[in-house]
Amino acid sequence: MSHNFFIYVSARRINVMVRYNFHRGMTLIEMLITVVIIGILTAIALPSYSKHVESARRSEAQTGLIQLQLWAEQQYTISNNYPSSTDLSTGSPSCASCSLSSEYTFSISNTGTGVDRFILTAKVKPNGLQKNDKCKKLTINAAGEKKGYTTGIDAYVGCW
């Protein structure tokens, strides 16, 4: 009878050990490896995501410029003059139907002639979320010619 009791205790100990091995959790090394893998994936994905967001904001500014171009032509049709304002984002006159990006300052200059009889400009706000974008200024003239500028006066092809 004592023999059966010994087997029962032995079997119970094996059972407890097996159960313990399956429920032991993660070790510190496994946790560190997981953190390192997440860090590497973040380091790869975050810059790509930031560039995508900058590109989306720039597209929003481009859309705003095109809407302003159509609005300026409409104003010319109504009053025989192009609007003039240093800040179309907040100034008067303003385009109520235009969706202008909050990360840019929009302005119009109507002192030129020919295709440059007006030039619409969208400039990146210096302390805004778009400040790291390579395209600091976007322009479109009366003829629809689009240009983008980094920091200099030479147009940069990759902005539009």
> pLDDT by residue (tens digit) across 100-149?
888 999 988 888 788 888 999 999 999 989 988 889 999 999 898 999 98
The pLDDT tens digits for 69-100 are: 998 888 888 888 888 776 676 666 677 778 88
Q: Tell me, what's the pLDDT at 99?
A: 82
**Which position has the higher pLDDT, 154 or 70?**
70
Phi and psi, residue 73, nearest 5°? -65, -35
CATH number of residue 40's parent domain: 3.30.700
Counting the structural domains of the chain, the total is: 1
pLDDT per residue as tens digits for the range 14-64: 544 545 555 567 788 989 999 999 999 999 999 889 889 999 999 999 999
Q: Residue 124 is part of which domain span?
A: 2-159
Task: Report which of residues 159 and 21 the model is more confident about.
Answer: 159
Joined together, the tokens standing for residue 48 give 């790509």
Q: Which one has a higher pLDDT value, 42 or 12?
A: 42
How far, in Å, CA of 59 to CA of 9, rounded? Answer: 74
Burial class (CB in 10 A: 0-12, 13-18, 19+), 84: middle
The predicted pLDDT at position 56 comes to 93
Query: Is the pLDDT at 11 greater than 60, yes or no?
Result: no
Please calculate the CA angle 5-8-10 and round it to the nearest 5 degrees.
110
Quick check: pTM over 0.75? no
